Amino acid sequence: MTVSTSVRAATLVAAASRALAVAGIFDTHGHISVREGDVAYVNSHSASRIAIRLEEVAAVRLADGEPIERTPPSELPIHLEIYRARADVGAVAHFHALYATALAVAGKPLVAAFNAGAPFGREVPVYDDPALVRDAARGRRLAGVLGKGRAALLRGHGAVVVGDDLPTCVAMSLQLEESARRLWLTYAIGEPRRFTDQEIEHVTSGLTEPRVIRKIWIDALERARLAGALGDIDVETLV
Ligand SMILES: [Zn+2]
């Protein structure tokens, strides 16, 4: 690894990718990035999501999207345009979420009706273009649909989730799919009873407490470790 790559950032990206793959959030595809100054660290294009090594994390200059090291994923504009639009965002995840995407395709809104869904507000917005986000124009449109929120769905494609930092982004990615899975069951038997704005606010403040984010992050890492997917990565260095 050369000096231009932050070992800490690469370790976070590799660990998060493996943990999200073990959790069934990442499949063959999916990528997560972390912003460090003017650079974004992200899964390289071809690395296995469940076995990515530190040496397979790509580094990209945020100003112009030029790769510093290795080849980033083809949907890099998702990350670049969200970072450009949102100074508060420190990490971005994109994945082809099974349940959340199925709801978007069926036209069933991903509403806040379970605690896990509260941090995403009344309804997760849907970006209505199934094409891969491989250019800046699509990236900007997606960032516009995301707005100030924590997540957006991409119809027939997947989801994007953001966080102040990488553990928050991982925790929210898990929460989004958890909410979708419960809503899928709910829609099969009836209509979800939506949270009020007050309920959304109250539940969100509890779920986004640093100690709760840390708990979800540690659990995701430990599940990956027990599945044998963390290998060379020491959980203790990440929490
Ligand atoms: Zn995609």
The reply to whether 238 falls in a domain is no
Task: Tell me the torsion sign for CA atoms 233, 20, 78, 207.
Answer: negative
Q: Residue 113 domain-assigned?
A: yes
Domain assignment present for residue 155? The answer is yes
Q: Which of 180, 77, 66, 71 is nearest to 120 (CA)?
A: 180
Closest among 94, 232, 214 to 154, alpha carbons compared: 94
The rounded Å distance from CA 105 to ligand 1 centre is 15
Please tell me the total count of domains within the chain.
1
List the CATH number of the domain containing 81.
3.40.225.10
CA of 108 from ligand 1 middle (Å) equals: 20
- What single DSSP character describes residue 115? G
Question: What are φ and ψ of residue 152, in 5° steps?
Answer: -140, 150
Q: Is 158 strand, coil or helix?
A: strand
**82 located within any domain:** yes
Secondary structure element (H or E) that encloses residue 95, with its range:
strand 91-95
Residue 139 CA, ligand 1 centroid: distance in Å = 12
Can you give the pLDDT of all 239 residues of the chain as single tens digits? 444 459 999 999 999 999 999 999 999 999 999 999 999 999 999 999 999 999 999 999 999 999 999 999 999 999 999 999 999 999 999 999 999 999 999 999 999 999 999 999 999 999 999 999 999 999 999 999 999 999 999 999 999 999 999 999 999 999 999 999 999 999 999 999 999 999 999 999 999 999 999 999 999 999 999 999 998 898 888 88
Distance (angstroms) between ligand 1 centre and the Cα of 235 equals 28
Range of the domain at 183: 7-229
Residue 45 Cα to ligand 1 midpoint, Å, equals: 12
